[in-house]
Amino acid sequence: MLMSYREALNQAMREEMRRDSRIFLIGEEVGYYQGAFKVSKGFVEEFGPQRVVDTPITEAGFTGLAIGAAMAGLHPIVELMTMNFGIVALDQIVNNAAKIHYMSGGQLSVPLVIRGPGSAAHQLGAQHSQSLEAWFCHVPGLKVIAPATPHDAKGLLKSAIRDNNPVIFIEAQLLYGTKGDVGDGEYTIPIGVAEVKRAGHDATIVAYSKMLLLALEAADQLSREGIEVEVIDPRTLKPMDLPTIVASVKKTGRLVIVEEGWHFCGLGAQIAESVYREAFDYLDAPIQRVTGADVPMPYSRPLEDAAIPNKERIIKAVKAMCATP
C-alpha cells in the first residue's frame, strides 16, 4: 500500500492505541489541531481528549508528566513540535527518563516514546533546524531511531511504542510528505537492525533519515558512471547495527558516512571509529564524512543549502576514495 510518511506514523500510533488502552498521546496541538504536521489527524475524534492530550507550551512540564505516567504503568507518546524544543525538556529526558530504571535497580521502567520532527526544513532559522541525534545517542538509557521511509517509520514506531525503555524517535520534517510502499497488514521492525538499501561492491555509504534519499540518488548517478555503491540505512542510531556496516566495508573496502548534523563530535565520528577498530585492515582508503557545516543554520536559502550535505558532495567523496590507489 502506498502512503506518505505522516500517514504511516498515524497508522502506527492508531493501531497501537487500539491494541493497548494504556497508550496515550500528549503534546502541543496534538488533539483538535491534529498535530503541528497533522500526524495525529483524527485521533481526538476516535480516542477522546483523555488519551489525546493537548498541552500548554511547557515541554519540560508535559515530558515530566509523561515520565511519571510511564513509571506508573502507562505508555505515553510525547509529540514535540520540533526536536529542537526537546532542549527545553533535556533535564527530564537525560536526568529522569534515561536514568530511572538504572537508579531504581531495575524496579521502575519508563516505557516512553518522544517523537517529532528533526533536522532542517526550509528556512526555519538556526533554532529550529538542528540535528540533535548525536546528543541523545550520547546518553546511556536512551534508544534513538531515525527512519527514512514510510515502511520503516511505521514498523519502527510500533516497536518503539512496545519497548519498555525511553525511545527518541526522530522524524525529518521534509520526509512527512514523501511516499512509499508500506505493505498490507500489521508488522513491526526490530530496533537495532540496519538494512542494506542498495547492494554494491565499490564503496559503502552509510546514511540515515533524509540523508538516505540523497545517498540513493548519488548511488544511482554513480552507477551510471560505472561505480557500484552499497547503501546502508542504520535506521536505529542507538543501539546501532555495526556488524552490518562492518560486513559491508569488509566487502567494498571504502566508506562514506553522510549525516546532516555537525561534523565535530557527530554521529559519523562514532561510526568511523567503530569501523576503524573492526575493519581497519580491509580499508583501501581513509573513511570520508559528509556532514553539515559547523555553523548555526543560516536563514538565507542559498546559505542554508550550502550548510547541508547534497548529492554532489556525496558523489565527490565516493569518487575521491575510488581514485585512491
Tens digits of residue pLDDT in 261-279: 999 999 999 999 999 999 9
Q: Is the pTM of this model over 0.85?
A: yes
For the segment 188-217, the average pLDDT, to the nearest whole number, is 98
Assess whether pLDDT exceeds 80 at residue 243.
yes
CA dist., res. 146 & res. 34, Å (int): 22
**Residue that is written with C-alpha cell 541525534 in the block:** 133
Assess whether pLDDT exceeds 70 at residue 134.
yes
- pLDDT, residue 323, reads 82
- Average pLDDT value for the chain: 97
- Give the H/E segment covering residue 214: helix 210-224
Assess whether pLDDT exceeds 90 at residue 110.
yes
For the segment 120-146, the average pLDDT, to the nearest whole number, is 95
Assess whether pLDDT exceeds 70 at residue 325.
no
| Closest to 238 measured CA to CA, from 213, 271, 263, 262 | 271
CA dist., res. 46 & res. 145, Å (int): 27
For the segment 189-207, the average pLDDT, to the nearest whole number, is 98
Correct CATH for 2-181 of 1.10.600.10, 3.40.1190.20, 3.20.20.60, 3.40.50.970: 3.40.50.970
- pLDDT, residue 53, reads 98
Annotate 79-99 with DSSP letters as a single string: EPS-GGGGGTTHHHIIIIITT
Assess whether pLDDT exceeds 80 at residue 324.
no
- pLDDT, residue 91, reads 98
**Residue that is written with C-alpha cell 550535505 in the block:** 309
Active-site residues: which are they?
Answer: 59, 128
Determine whether domain 195-322 maps to CATH 3.30.360.10. Answer: no
Residue type present at position 28: E
- pLDDT, residue 183, reads 82
What percent of the chain clears pLDDT 90, i.e. is strictly above it? Answer: 98
Domain ranges, ordered by start, for the chain = 2-181, 195-322
- pLDDT, residue 150, reads 98
Assess whether pLDDT exceeds 90 at residue 80.
yes
Q: Hey, do 2-181 and 195-322 end up sharing a CATH topology, with the first three levels equal?
A: yes
- SS3 of 96, please? helix
Would you say 236 and 188 are in contact if contact means Cβ atoms under 8 Å apart? no
Assess whether pLDDT exceeds 90 at residue 176.
yes
What percent of the chain clears pLDDT 70, i.e. is strictly above it? Answer: 99
For the segment 211-235, the average pLDDT, to the nearest whole number, is 98
- pLDDT, residue 185, reads 86
- pLDDT, residue 184, reads 82
Q: Residue 9: CA atoms inside 13 Å, Cβ hemisphere, count?
A: 32
Which is higher by pLDDT, 111 or 1? 111
